[in-house]
Amino acid sequence: MKFKQGLFFKGYITIQIKGKKPELFLNQCIREDIAIWDIRRNSEMEIEAKVHLKNLTNIRQIRRRLGYKVSLKEKNGLPFILAHLRFRKPLIIGLFLSLVLIFILSNMVWQVKIVGVSPEMEYKIQERLDDYGLKEGVFKFTLRSVDDIERNITNELKDIMWLGIEEKGTTYIVQGVEKTVVDKEQKSMPQHLVASKDGTIMEMLVEKGSPKVAVYQKVKKGDILVSGIIEEGNGNINGEKEDADDQKDRQQYVHSKGTVMAETWYTTETTVPLTYKHQSLTGDKDHHYSLKIGNFSIPIWDFLSPDYKEKHMEKEDNSLYFLNFKLPFSIEKKTIFEKETTTGKRDEKTAIAEGIAQAKRELKKHTNHDAEILDERILHEKVENGKVKLELLFIVKEDIAKPQPINQGE
Amino acid sequence: MNKWRGRMKQWVAHYFNLPDDVLLDLPRITTIGQLHAYIENHHGLVTFTENEIVVKTNQGYVRVRGENFVLKTMLQEEIIIEGKIQDVQYVDN
């Protein structure tokens, strides 16, 4: 029954053969190797049969030779449906347009929902999202990667602790968690100020509490600088013994406050290479879009590659959707940046200067903003394998007071 | 000459255990209950009505009688009949 395979796609017809002895017509068909099936005898003079569409011309030739009357009764299969549709162009165009429309609309952002934050913060996030292009009415594939947007906004808005963007079809749900400013209930809690680092005290400014150390005194990490316990009876402890209860009454717990500037020492080691090479982007860039089907990609926009000497390429894949279904092709966005490599040499002197600057930058990260570098000294200096190895000492003036709550044991 | 050739073929078919229908161009009729009849190695259709089908073969004719006959398929080598088969008959020239 091989000839009956794919009947619908090839198309077949039902014909009526009229004439004397229609068997002869059938015999002729067999001789010409035309497949016929479902043959029915309607009357003495008439036969009905089905043949492939491709054999229609042969049938006509036989008809002419044998002088039978052959009429088409039914047309079946895809070729006829298509031929029929050709006369209904508006229908086809409408169907096509609606598919295109659905396709376009499926790839647009329809809603950006911001949840979990206060209205004020919502506005701020909205503003940022607009900047990054995530807003209603844009095409999904023009968007930057969601991870990037998340990261950037979390960095830019200080009051946001976490931001998650979830893609749900054509809706983007942005979920934010605000940093809740912890109420400083410790404000009234009694506390000491202790040293956060070893150092020599240079200046003291105590607003509250009783100082336990003096200027130019060396302190170690953890030493109490300003005590939160003030003993009122300080004036008259002239040998008189007082009851323990009494003493406790006279003690007053306060929230000590103040700044204790101290000189602290830091030793760091840095190495600076004598020859350097670093790459940077010049800011010139070129966008390329292509349609990707499996591993095959067809460029859509910008076919010429820019004549950059050195390039840095970033690829981004955005899937296309039809309604909620992910289509097997995607739009690939390629961004090509111009890259610049600078190489150079420096002598020992500049290398040392560079090393010191580098160490200073590093130090700034580890100390408070009000820290001030008083002096720097090179303890050790060595040139090795084309690199300068430095051991540096920094003398820094900074606030070392660190609050420590007093446990009243109640 | 022709007769001698036919005998020779028969002998070959017999001694080499070959199917006769292939070698001798004889019709092979397969029926499935009363529903279908497959006639292979035919030489053309002679009569086809609802109640009777006559097919030409190498030697003579094969007549199939029954009710509601429909030719399911008609190819150069094979005819498939569908309907209610009542009898299959060999008719000489």
Answer whether B76 sits within 8 Å of A27, measured CB to CB.
no
Q: Would you tell me how many other CB atoms lie within 10 Å of the CB of residue B65?
A: 16
Boundaries of every domain in chain A: 10-83, 111-178, 276-344
Q: How far is B13 from chain A (nearest CA, A)?
A: 28
- For residue range A63-118, what is the model confidence (pLDDT) as tens digits? 999 888 999 898 888 888 888 888 888 888 999 999 999 988 888 888 888 888 88
**Which H or E run contains A337?**
strand A325-345
Residue with tokens 């002729």: A28
Across the interface, whether the CB atoms of A30 and B74 are under 8 A apart is answered yes
CA distance A80 to chain B (A): 23
Query: What is the 8-class DSSP label of residue B32?
Result: E
Interface of B with A in 28-87 (CB under 8 A): 44-50, 69-76
Please give the Cα distance from A363 to A268 (Å, whole number): 9
Nearest CA in chain B to A20: B47
- Shortest distance between the Cα of B74 and any Cα of chain A, in A, equals 5
Interface of A with B (CB under 8 A): 1, 3, 22-23, 26-27, 29-31, 33, 35-41, 47, 49
Question: Quick check: A131 and A112 in contact, CB under 8 A?
Answer: no
Contacts of A196 by beta carbon, 8 Å cutoff, 6+ apart = A221, A400, A401, A402
pLDDT single digits (tens) A160-193: 888 888 888 888 898 888 887 665 555 677 888 8
- Can you give the residue ranges of every domain in chain B? 27-91
Q: What is the CATH number of domain A10-83?
A: 3.30.70.340
Are A23 and B47 a contacting pair at CB < 8 A?
yes
Are B48 and A40 within 8 A, CB to CB? no
Interface ipTM > 0.85? no
State which residue of chain A sits closest to B78, comparing Cα positions. Answer: A30
Q: How confident is the model at residue B39 (pLDDT cuts 50, 70, 90)?
A: very high
* The residue count for chain B: 93
In this structure, are residues B45 and A27 in contact, taking their beta carbons and an 8 Å threshold? yes
Tell me the pLDDT band of B59, cut-offs 50, 70 and 90.
Answer: confident
What CATH architecture is B27-91? Sandwich (2.60)
Q: What is the DSSP string of A275-290?
A: EEEEEEEEEEEEEEEE
Q: Say whether B48 and A47 touch across the interface (CB within 8 A).
A: yes
- Alpha-carbon torsion angle B17, B23, B24, B29, nearest 10: 80
- At A409, the pLDDT band (50, 70, 90 cuts) reads low
A249 pLDDT tier (thresholds 50, 70, 90): low
Tell me which fold the domain A111-178 belongs to.
Ubiquitin-like (UB roll) (3.10.20)
**pLDDT class for A237, splitting at 50, 70, 90?**
very low
